[in-house]
Amino acid sequence: MDQIESKIVRKLPDILMNDWKNIFLSELGELYFESIQEKLDEKMQTEEVFPPRESIFQAFNLCSFADTQVVIIGQDPYHGKGQAHGLCFSVPQGMSIPPSLRNIKKELHLDLDAFLINEDGDLSPWAKQGVLLLNSILTVSEAKPGSHEDLGWQQLTSLAIEKISEEKEHVVFLLWGNFAQKLAKNVDSQKHLLLYSSHPSPLSANRGGWFGNKVFSKANDYLIAHRKKAINWL
């Protein structure tokens, strides 16, 4: 019981640590957000929920609104024990690299013609350079992919994307697969760069459209052209 109680001590707004709290200020008091907290607390009393509560907003905490210059959109967190830590496609240091992330690493090698690719699955260094690694659904129950689809997270994460589109300029959106492409359908393509490709999952990637897409070098070319700092993807 002590372990369960420790998971529900802090309210979700208290976990946001930077300027995203101001971006979401009007949302954090809305009924739908209170409903997310209530439903999440209920699930945490009966199920193992990922990522840990303190990491639910890790994508925002490691990549402030002001610093955001690339957005990568995932669907929901990894549902295996120890895998999810609040960043889409990423796993904590030392964890085995999942298949989709393995294909991301392969494309990095092809795209950047790099001899050495960091074999660690932790993408936190990307986030700290301004890459928002955003899952549309921020939590999941163990071994149940898509299980928190009805909590209401999409309303909050869609707002984040809208705010980036409206209030920033020259952001790169890497849209991998149909889910991400639908979520970013309202991004202003006159102000930002939208790079479409298939999803890096093995089933999708092996059908074509992932390997050789060169999204990482294209993103950097665009950032440099608009006097922004390139991302060190390696």
How many Å apart are CA 167 and CA 169, to the nearest integer?
7
Type and span of the H or E element at 70: strand 70-74
- The structure tokens listed for 152 are 């209401």
Tokens 């889910």 correspond to what residue?
179
Question: Quick count: other Cβ atoms within 10 Å of Cβ 204?
Answer: 18
**Contact residues for 75 (Cβ-Cβ < 8 A; gap 6+):** 88, 135, 136, 137, 146, 179, 180
Which of these is catalytic: 2, 76, 113, 122? 76
The encoded tokens of residue 218 equal: 């294209």
Residues 6+ apart with CB under 8 A from 206: none
- Give dist(CA 91, CA 124) in Å, integer: 9
Q: What values do phi and psi take at 189, rounded to 5?
A: -75, -10
Whole-angstrom distance, CA of residue 125 vs CA of residue 37: 29
76 part of the active site: yes
Nearest in space to 100 (alpha carbons), one of 233, 225, 230, 203: 203
Q: Where are the beta strands (DSSP E) in the chain?
A: 49-50, 70-74, 131-135, 140-141, 172-176, 193-197
Catalytic residues: 76
